[in-house]
Structure 1
Protein backbone atom coordinates (compact mmCIF):
# COMPACT_ATOMS: atom_id res chain seq x y z
CA UNK A 1 0.00 0.00 0.00
CA UNK A 2 1.32 3.42 -0.83
CA UNK A 3 -0.22 6.60 0.45
CA UNK A 4 0.81 8.97 -2.34
CA UNK A 5 -2.24 8.28 -4.53
CA UNK A 6 -4.87 7.78 -1.81
CA UNK A 7 -6.57 9.73 0.91
CA UNK A 8 -6.26 8.56 4.50
CA UNK A 9 -9.38 7.37 6.27
CA UNK A 10 -8.20 9.11 9.44
CA UNK A 11 -5.61 11.78 10.30
CA UNK A 12 -4.68 12.65 13.85
CA UNK A 13 -1.88 14.19 15.90
CA UNK A 14 -1.14 12.40 19.19
CA UNK A 15 -0.98 14.57 22.30
CA UNK A 16 1.20 14.61 25.43
CA UNK A 17 -1.20 12.28 27.26
CA UNK A 18 -0.55 9.60 24.60
CA UNK A 19 3.17 9.24 25.45
CA UNK A 20 4.58 6.19 27.25
CA UNK A 21 7.56 6.12 29.64
CA UNK A 22 9.99 5.84 26.70
CA UNK A 23 8.77 9.08 25.12
CA UNK A 24 6.95 7.35 22.27
CA UNK A 25 3.24 7.01 21.64
CA UNK A 26 1.45 4.12 23.38
CA UNK A 27 0.88 1.11 21.14
CA UNK A 28 -2.70 0.93 22.43
CA UNK A 29 -3.36 4.48 21.23
CA UNK A 30 -2.17 3.56 17.74
CA UNK A 31 -4.22 0.36 17.81
CA UNK A 32 -7.38 2.31 18.68
CA UNK A 33 -6.82 4.72 15.76
CA UNK A 34 -6.39 1.74 13.44
CA UNK A 35 -9.58 0.14 14.75
CA UNK A 36 -11.53 3.37 14.22
CA UNK A 37 -10.33 3.70 10.61
CA UNK A 38 -10.90 0.02 9.85
CA UNK A 39 -14.38 0.24 11.36
CA UNK A 40 -15.26 3.16 9.09
CA UNK A 41 -14.24 1.21 5.98
CA UNK A 42 -15.90 -2.03 7.15
CA UNK A 43 -19.15 -0.26 8.03
CA UNK A 44 -19.28 1.38 4.62
CA UNK A 45 -18.64 -1.94 2.87
CA UNK A 46 -21.20 -3.77 5.03
CA UNK A 47 -23.71 -0.95 4.67
CA UNK A 48 -24.36 -1.04 8.41
CA UNK A 49 -23.02 -1.89 11.83
CA UNK A 50 -19.90 -4.02 12.28
CA UNK A 51 -17.88 -5.44 15.16
CA UNK A 52 -14.14 -6.08 15.38
CA UNK A 53 -13.52 -9.80 15.89
CA UNK A 54 -9.79 -10.23 15.25
CA UNK A 55 -6.54 -8.42 14.65
CA UNK A 56 -4.07 -10.38 12.53
CA UNK A 57 -0.54 -9.77 11.40
CA UNK A 58 -0.14 -6.68 13.56
CA UNK A 59 3.38 -5.31 13.34
CA UNK A 60 4.94 -2.23 14.93
CA UNK A 61 7.68 -1.13 12.55
CA UNK A 62 8.84 2.21 13.98
CA UNK A 63 7.87 4.39 16.96
CA UNK A 64 5.48 7.32 16.70
CA UNK A 65 6.77 10.57 18.16
CA UNK A 66 4.97 13.48 19.73
CA UNK A 67 4.09 16.02 17.00
CA UNK A 68 3.95 13.38 14.23
CA UNK A 69 0.94 13.65 11.95
CA UNK A 70 -0.55 10.17 11.77
CA UNK A 71 -2.34 9.09 8.59
CA UNK A 72 -4.29 5.83 8.70
CA UNK A 73 -5.01 4.11 5.38
CA UNK A 74 -7.52 1.27 5.16
CA UNK A 75 -8.61 -1.01 2.32
CA UNK A 76 -10.94 -3.97 2.12
CA UNK A 77 -8.71 -6.98 1.53
CA UNK A 78 -11.28 -9.78 1.62
CA UNK A 79 -15.04 -10.15 1.96
CA UNK A 80 -16.75 -13.32 3.17
CA UNK A 81 -20.39 -14.02 3.84
CA UNK A 82 -20.54 -12.15 7.17
CA UNK A 83 -16.96 -10.95 7.63
CA UNK A 84 -14.42 -8.62 6.06
CA UNK A 85 -10.65 -8.31 6.39
CA UNK A 86 -9.45 -4.72 6.36
CA UNK A 87 -5.76 -4.00 5.74
CA UNK A 88 -4.45 -1.01 7.69
CA UNK A 89 -1.28 0.99 7.17
CA UNK A 90 -0.20 3.87 9.41
CA UNK A 91 2.20 6.54 8.18
CA UNK A 92 3.80 9.13 10.46
CA UNK A 93 4.70 12.43 8.82
CA UNK A 94 7.45 14.25 10.70
CA UNK A 95 10.11 16.93 10.23
CA UNK A 96 7.47 19.51 9.26
CA UNK A 97 6.17 17.32 6.45
CA UNK A 98 9.57 16.36 5.06
CA UNK A 99 9.62 12.72 6.14
CA UNK A 100 7.03 9.92 5.90
CA UNK A 101 7.66 6.80 7.98
CA UNK A 102 5.56 3.63 7.91
CA UNK A 103 5.06 2.95 11.61
CA UNK A 104 2.67 0.01 11.73
CA UNK A 105 0.38 -2.19 9.71
CA UNK A 106 -2.09 -4.96 10.29
CA UNK A 107 -5.21 -6.76 9.17
CA UNK A 108 -8.43 -6.31 11.16
CA UNK A 109 -11.39 -8.65 10.75
CA UNK A 110 -14.92 -7.35 11.20
CA UNK A 111 -18.29 -9.08 11.22
CA UNK A 112 -21.40 -7.34 9.93
CA UNK A 113 -24.06 -7.31 12.65
CA UNK A 114 -27.80 -6.73 12.78
CA UNK A 115 -29.79 -4.66 15.29
CA UNK A 116 -29.48 -7.45 17.86
CA UNK A 117 -25.68 -7.75 17.41
CA UNK A 118 -25.96 -11.06 15.53
CA UNK A 119 -23.88 -11.75 12.40
CA UNK A 120 -25.59 -10.88 9.15
CA UNK A 121 -24.66 -11.14 5.50
CA UNK A 122 -22.25 -8.37 4.45
CA UNK A 123 -24.30 -7.27 1.48
CA UNK A 124 -27.58 -7.12 3.44
CA UNK A 125 -28.50 -3.83 5.15
Structure 2
Protein backbone atom coordinates (compact mmCIF):
# COMPACT_ATOMS: atom_id res chain seq x y z
CA UNK A 1 0.00 0.00 0.00
CA UNK A 2 1.57 3.26 -1.08
CA UNK A 3 0.61 6.37 0.83
CA UNK A 4 1.53 8.79 -1.91
CA UNK A 5 -0.18 10.33 -4.86
CA UNK A 6 1.57 9.44 -8.11
CA UNK A 7 0.85 11.95 -10.86
CA UNK A 8 2.70 9.84 -13.44
CA UNK A 9 -0.29 7.51 -13.87
CA UNK A 10 -2.55 9.45 -16.26
CA UNK A 11 -5.46 7.06 -15.80
CA UNK A 12 -5.25 5.68 -12.24
CA UNK A 13 -7.49 2.76 -11.34
CA UNK A 14 -8.67 1.52 -7.95
CA UNK A 15 -6.92 -1.51 -6.48
CA UNK A 16 -9.19 -4.36 -5.43
CA UNK A 17 -12.90 -4.99 -5.86
CA UNK A 18 -15.75 -2.58 -5.24
CA UNK A 19 -17.02 -3.50 -1.77
CA UNK A 20 -19.26 -0.55 -0.86
CA UNK A 21 -20.74 2.50 -2.53
CA UNK A 22 -22.69 5.33 -0.93
CA UNK A 23 -23.45 9.04 -1.22
CA UNK A 24 -21.83 11.71 0.98
CA UNK A 25 -24.65 13.62 2.67
CA UNK A 26 -24.82 17.01 4.47
CA UNK A 27 -25.26 15.30 7.86
CA UNK A 28 -21.78 13.76 7.46
CA UNK A 29 -19.87 17.08 7.33
CA UNK A 30 -17.35 18.57 9.74
CA UNK A 31 -17.16 22.20 10.87
CA UNK A 32 -15.50 23.17 7.57
CA UNK A 33 -18.32 21.74 5.45
CA UNK A 34 -16.25 18.81 4.18
CA UNK A 35 -17.13 15.19 4.86
CA UNK A 36 -15.95 14.21 8.35
CA UNK A 37 -12.93 11.88 8.31
CA UNK A 38 -14.48 9.65 10.98
CA UNK A 39 -17.48 8.99 8.76
CA UNK A 40 -15.17 8.09 5.89
CA UNK A 41 -13.22 5.66 8.11
CA UNK A 42 -16.50 4.01 9.16
CA UNK A 43 -17.35 3.43 5.49
CA UNK A 44 -13.87 1.96 4.96
CA UNK A 45 -14.39 -0.35 7.95
CA UNK A 46 -17.73 -1.52 6.56
CA UNK A 47 -16.11 -2.23 3.18
CA UNK A 48 -13.33 -4.23 4.83
CA UNK A 49 -15.91 -6.22 6.80
CA UNK A 50 -17.82 -7.03 3.63
CA UNK A 51 -14.61 -8.22 1.97
CA UNK A 52 -13.82 -10.56 4.88
CA UNK A 53 -17.20 -12.31 4.57
CA UNK A 54 -16.13 -13.96 1.32
CA UNK A 55 -13.15 -15.56 3.04
CA UNK A 56 -14.29 -16.21 6.62
CA UNK A 57 -17.82 -17.35 5.71
CA UNK A 58 -18.91 -16.14 9.11
CA UNK A 59 -18.34 -13.45 11.69
CA UNK A 60 -15.26 -11.27 11.85
CA UNK A 61 -14.27 -8.19 13.81
CA UNK A 62 -11.98 -5.22 13.29
CA UNK A 63 -8.90 -5.47 15.52
CA UNK A 64 -6.73 -2.70 14.05
CA UNK A 65 -6.78 0.14 11.57
CA UNK A 66 -3.34 1.09 10.26
CA UNK A 67 -1.91 3.81 8.08
CA UNK A 68 -5.11 5.66 7.18
CA UNK A 69 -4.28 8.57 4.90
CA UNK A 70 -6.70 11.25 3.78
CA UNK A 71 -5.44 12.43 0.40
CA UNK A 72 -8.08 15.03 -0.50
CA UNK A 73 -11.24 16.55 1.00
CA UNK A 74 -14.60 15.01 0.13
CA UNK A 75 -17.60 17.19 -0.72
CA UNK A 76 -21.28 16.67 -0.05
CA UNK A 77 -22.89 14.89 -2.99
CA UNK A 78 -19.80 12.88 -3.91
CA UNK A 79 -20.32 9.23 -4.75
CA UNK A 80 -18.07 7.32 -2.36
CA UNK A 81 -16.67 4.01 -3.65
CA UNK A 82 -14.64 1.79 -1.32
CA UNK A 83 -12.43 -0.81 -2.97
CA UNK A 84 -11.10 -3.74 -0.95
CA UNK A 85 -8.05 -5.87 -1.62
CA UNK A 86 -7.16 -8.70 0.75
CA UNK A 87 -3.38 -8.53 1.01
CA UNK A 88 -2.73 -11.16 3.69
CA UNK A 89 -4.60 -14.09 5.23
CA UNK A 90 -3.18 -15.57 8.43
CA UNK A 91 -4.35 -18.35 10.71
CA UNK A 92 -7.23 -16.27 12.09
CA UNK A 93 -6.61 -12.75 10.83
CA UNK A 94 -6.73 -10.89 7.54
CA UNK A 95 -5.21 -7.62 6.30
CA UNK A 96 -7.41 -5.68 3.89
CA UNK A 97 -6.25 -2.63 1.96
CA UNK A 98 -9.08 -0.16 1.40
CA UNK A 99 -9.03 2.64 -1.15
CA UNK A 100 -11.72 5.32 -1.26
CA UNK A 101 -12.47 6.91 -4.61
CA UNK A 102 -15.01 9.64 -5.33
CA UNK A 103 -16.93 10.78 -8.36
CA UNK A 104 -19.19 13.77 -8.82
CA UNK A 105 -22.78 12.64 -8.18
CA UNK A 106 -24.16 14.46 -11.22
CA UNK A 107 -21.60 13.54 -13.86
CA UNK A 108 -20.08 10.40 -12.26
CA UNK A 109 -16.86 11.45 -14.02
CA UNK A 110 -13.47 12.46 -12.68
CA UNK A 111 -13.01 9.57 -10.28
CA UNK A 112 -10.06 10.11 -7.93
CA UNK A 113 -8.60 8.50 -4.82
CA UNK A 114 -9.23 10.46 -1.62
CA UNK A 115 -8.25 8.02 1.16
CA UNK A 116 -6.64 4.68 1.85
CA UNK A 117 -5.85 2.49 4.82
CA UNK A 118 -5.03 -0.99 6.03
CA UNK A 119 -7.63 -2.81 8.14
CA UNK A 120 -6.93 -5.91 10.22
CA UNK A 121 -9.80 -8.29 10.96
CA UNK A 122 -9.97 -11.50 12.95
CA UNK A 123 -12.44 -14.33 12.32
CA UNK A 124 -14.63 -15.06 15.33
CA UNK A 125 -17.13 -17.75 16.24
CA UNK A 126 -20.70 -17.27 17.49
CA UNK A 127 -19.40 -16.63 21.02
CA UNK A 128 -16.94 -13.98 19.87
CA UNK A 129 -13.86 -16.19 20.23
CA UNK A 130 -11.08 -16.16 17.66
CA UNK A 131 -11.37 -18.98 15.17
CA UNK A 132 -9.22 -20.34 12.38
CA UNK A 133 -9.75 -19.20 8.79
CA UNK A 134 -9.93 -22.11 6.38
CA UNK A 135 -9.02 -20.87 2.93
CA UNK A 136 -10.46 -24.09 1.45
CA UNK A 137 -13.98 -22.89 2.17
CA UNK A 138 -14.94 -24.67 5.39
CA UNK A 139 -15.73 -22.75 8.53
CA UNK A 140 -13.61 -23.95 11.45
CA UNK A 141 -13.83 -23.69 15.22
CA UNK A 142 -11.60 -21.86 17.74
CA UNK A 143 -8.05 -21.06 16.64
TM-score, normalised relative to structure 1: 0.92
The reply on whether 1:22 has 2:32 as its aligned counterpart is yes
Q: CA deviation at 1:6?
A: 6.5
Please provide the CA RMSD for this pair. 1.7
The reply on whether 1:105 has 2:90 as its aligned counterpart is no
Q: Based on CA coordinates, which of the two structures has the bigger radius of gyration?
A: 2
CA contact (8 A) 2:124 2:130 kept: yes
Distance 1:60 1:84, change over 3 A: same
Q: Please list, as runs of the form range in 1=range in 2, the aligned pairs for 1:83-98 lying within 5 A after superposition.
A: 83-94=93-104, 96-98=107-109
Q: Pick from 52, 70, 79 the counterpart of residue 69 of structure 1.
A: 79
* 1:97-116 deviation per Cα after TM superposition (whole angstroms, max 9, x unaligned): 22112100001000000111
Name the residue aligned to 2:91.
Answer: 81
* 1:77-116 deviation per Cα after TM superposition (whole angstroms, max 9, x unaligned): 1000000000100001126222112100001000000111
TM-score, normalised relative to structure 2: 0.81
Distance 1:84 1:6, change over 3 A: closer
The reply on whether 1:118 has 2:132 as its aligned counterpart is no
- Number of aligned residue pairs: give it: 124
SS of alignment partner, residue 38 of structure 1: helix
CA contact (8 A) 2:16 2:85 kept: no
SS of alignment partner, residue 114 of structure 1: coil
Q: CA deviation at 1:75?
A: 1.2
